[in-house]
Structure 1
């Protein structure tokens, strides 16, 4: 047991050390997905911030459960003039659910949530117990189904992210088995550090309603399995100056690089 705790401490310390000098680690949380036992908790893990693109995991569950999304490649939707395209040329290509999640294409999220409608969108958000459950954003361009999850009314803490990821890992949310199956498939991360099968999503946002790249938040949240062990995690950083790649991608890479410490010898049997 002592060896296991030491490995977990090394894991958390590695996350702090791996973050760039211009990115401040806000929180690292790792929990046993089955029991909820917190294995690592470092930093401010209770303050709510924008979920940004990590909310695509929730939108995926909603879309597949409601039948708006069918499978990994259906529906394929075309880009139209006027859609958000800050992601550049890749965002202007036809997009299916797998491509949407991989490239984090915002306009596809909007098409799914608009198809759900505001009432059903709010019902799902409440049923999921997602953060502050406020999917309204009554003012501004990104209100309600148009983007309540991006620097707007919807807020979630790292601890709440882990609680939500545990519900996915344990399949306790009020959605269909198909919704769980498809969401697992499109959130699978190509990198498998030391044999860990990782499902996760990045997110990049900032305080306030207008995106501020010089103070960007970077999320990486999800769940991971290796043999009988399964953990849920959330990692959140904040930049002190504008950087590339974006904060979410850097949070993901930092977390994945240190995840194998969870598999150190001496873990509980």
Structure 2
């Protein structure tokens, strides 16, 4: 056998060996890549044994979204008091209120919660979910400006025809949990069409827990048998927007959210 033919056979054997090695390595590399991605499965069924609901968690750093009960996550509901967040943004942007310390005086009418029966600022009315304050601010904003801004931020079905101080309360305005997640992500990243200082003010008012390892921003909403808890949390490892929507109250939705976050995020 000639030397040239022997070299050709040798090279072909090496080529075949390399091809075989490559084909054997590919699955291993794929498995390694899969392990390196954030592919952890969130098992949250245990938190929804007492009521029907949906939960959404979005990793804002890695742009990954987990959805429990996909069908309900796409269904639109009245936002109830979670609308206080866009309402505050619009109120500040339009000058209907000056800042989070802007006072509205109690009209003397006794309402269902004692904490509502006193003067409030924009910030305290957010903290205690004081409906009458945000209704008064909505009237000051006016239907024309409110409609313009609700459409500008593409908030749900954008229907405010139910009355300037009622449309978000079991009325015409509807939004899905997935749309709420998008809205909260945009607020966290300050990508909504409001002035930066306006968004920073509203985010500051939304702070509910400021701990060593995380800051929790959120807003509850309740009405017509539906409970919401929406917001975002900033941790040492990243940031996440979240939405819980249940057949229950906002307090129950928040409790469910916190249980899930403590298991998967706040550790």
* TM-score normalized with structure 2 length: 0.80
How far apart, in 1, do the equivalents of 2:161 and 2:53 lie? 27
Return 5+ residue gaps in structure 2 as ranges: 1-33
Structure with greater helix share of residues = 2
Q: Is the 8 A contact 2:54 2:67 kept in 1?
A: no
Residue in structure 1 matching 2:264, options 262, 265, 268: 262
What is the match of residue 205 of structure 1? 223
Pairing 1:99-110 to 2, within 5 Å after superposition: 99-110=124-135
CA RMSD in angstroms, aligned pairs only = 2.2
How far apart, in 2, do the equivalents of 1:93 and 1:159 lie? 35
Q: Is the 8 A contact 1:64 1:178 kept in 2?
A: no
What is the match of residue 38 of structure 1? 65
State the 1:71 CA deviation: 2.5
What is the match of residue 253 of structure 1? 255
Larger Rg: 2
Return 5+ residue gaps in structure 1 as ranges: 138-142, 207-215, 240-246
How far apart, in 2, do the equivalents of 1:191 and 1:14 lie? 27
Q: Secondary structure of the residue that 1:132 maps to in structure 2? A: coil
State the 1:108 CA deviation: 0.5
Pairing 1:1-269 to 2, within 5 Å after superposition: 4-6=38-40, 8-10=41-43, 12-17=44-49, 21=50, 24-34=51-61, 36-43=63-70, 44-73=72-101, 75-81=102-108, 85-137=110-162, 143=163, 145-190=164-209, 192=211, 195-206=213-224, 216-239=225-248, 247-263=249-265
Query: How many pairs align?
Result: 232
Change (3 A) 1:42 1:195: farther
* TM-score normalized with structure 1 length: 0.79
Q: Which has the higher contact order (CA 8 A, sep 6+)?
A: 1
